[in-house]
Amino acid sequence: MKRRKFLTALGTGAAAVTIAKPAIAQSMPELKWRLTSSFPKSLDTAYGAADTLSKYVAEATDNRFQIQVFAGGEIVPALQALDAASSGTVEIGHSASYYYFGKDPTFAFGTSVAFGPNQRQNQAWMIHGGGMDLLNDFYKKFNVHALMAANTGCQMGGWFRKEINTVDDLKGLKFRIGGFPGKVLTKLGVVPQQIAGGDIFPALEKGTIDAAEWVGPYDDEKLGFFKIAPHYYYPGWWEGGSMIFAFVNIDKWNSLPKAYQAALTAAGHYANTWSMAKYDQSNPLALKRLVAAGTQLKPFSPAIMDACYKAAAELHTEVAATNADFKKVLDAMLAFRNDEYLWWQVAEYSYDSYMIRARARG
């Protein structure tokens, strides 16, 4: 072969090597999805978890898989996020599962049930205890596949116009409370109201409701409840470690390349961890500000807690007797929760209790 022909052939080959793309890149399509949230943009942790998920999916796929995030009400009403994903109106609904307990009480477990596991225990149950698999078997009936995408930690018990000292003080109370736990309070005479986050303040201000719970100090301060209802109770026994899921339309999920499924799942886990850290960092500072502004911080009395615990156990037993899906998940969750608290009392609780006492001593 002559030298010129050899160099020409070599150059052509080198160029081909330079521009050839890996097979994995060729299998990565450009996708643009939409996500509708159940939360307003002002809640930079609950809504922000969806933004975080979107950001990390884009970065993991070199911007080939983009998810545009919309606040509640921009595409569909806040409490229709799951329905929008189920029907294919959007690809993802970012929402609290228990908002949809009216379809089936089993939806409650995807967020939290009364006196359920705490924040870390919920994560353990979902990831290693089979909880996520149980729920996704259930969600198939509603045409969605769920991914972990946020957790609030233990929530507060809410804002009340008047003091709640006895169980009788709950009777006739119009209380904004999310999801299935409202059914527990119905047994104690409360009139539960399910209202989206952005609509709670006007309802409280107008007197449409007497009290309201949302999440905790950081979010509650932003929503301004302390301006109307001065009594701030704890704990939110109905939300010991509430989860928020990304509900993906199941056909869209199944059509994703495995690499994109992995990227979306990993981004959801990051958003989940990010939100927990954000709340843990922000709540103490917000609580200090609220108390300094005149908020009256109060625990629910032991009598109220005991009455609520009894009512919750009764309700769960009643529903389980007629709903096989609910019973299946309830039995698994209770077994896991009970083992967790067996361990918790040994190290976690004893350590935290000591540190709380030590802080009090200065």
Q: Dihedral sign, CA of 296, 212, 202, 186?
A: negative
C-beta of residue 111 within 8 angstroms of C-beta of residue 98? yes
Q: What is the DSSP letter of 29?
A: -
Beta strands in 125-230 (DSSP E): 144-151, 158-160, 174-176, 191-193, 211-212
Instruction: Give the C-alpha separation, 69 to 46, whole Å.
Output: 12
DSSP character string of 278-322: HHHHHHHHHHHHHHHTT-EEEEPPHHHHHHHHHHHHHHHHHHHTT
3-state secondary structure of 95: strand
Q: What is the DSSP letter of 80?
A: G
So what's the pLDDT on residue 18?
A: 47
Q: Dihedral sign, CA of 187, 193, 196, 199?
A: negative
So what's the pLDDT on residue 134?
A: 98
Q: Please compute Rg for the chain using Cα positions.
A: 24
Long-range contacts at 76-81 (CB < 8 A, ≥ 24 apart): 76/36, 77/196, 78/37, 78/38, 78/39, 78/40, 78/196, 78/197, 78/198, 79/38, 79/194, 79/196, 81/36, 81/37, 81/38, 81/247
Burial class from Cβ neighbours inside 10 Å (0-12, 13-18, 19+) for residue 30 reads exposed
Q: What is the DSSP letter of 83?
A: H
* Total-model pTM: 0.91
Q: Nearest to residue 43, comparing CAs of 223, 196, 202, 250?
A: 223
- Residues belonging to the chain: 362
CA distances from 168 to 103, 172, 185 (A): 31, 9, 12
What residue ranges define each of the domains in the chain, with the CATH number in brackets?
Answer: 28-152+241-281 (3.40.190.170), 158-238+295-361 (3.40.190.10)
Instruction: Give the C-alpha separation, 215 to 133, whole Å.
Output: 26
CA distances from 289 to 130, 235, 262, 295 (A): 40, 19, 41, 9
Q: What are phi and psi of 298, to 5 degrees?
A: -145, 145
Looking up tokens 């303040």 gives 201
3-state secondary structure of 16: helix
pLDDT in tens, the chain (362 residues): 444 443 444 444 444 444 445 545 557 899 999 999 999 999 999 999 999 999 999 999 999 999 999 999 999 999 999 999 999 999 999 999 999 999 999 999 999 999 999 999 999 999 999 999 999 999 999 999 999 999 999 999 999 999 999 999 999 999 999 889 999 999 999 999 999 988 999 999 999 999 999 999 999 999 999 999 999 999 999 999 999 999 999 999 999 999 999 999 999 999 999 999 999 999 999 999 999 999 999 999 999 999 999 999 999 999 999 999 999 999 999 999 999 999 999 999 999 999 999 999 98
So what's the pLDDT on residue 129?
A: 97
So what's the pLDDT on residue 322?
A: 98
Q: What is the DSSP letter of 140?
A: G
3-state secondary structure of 267: helix
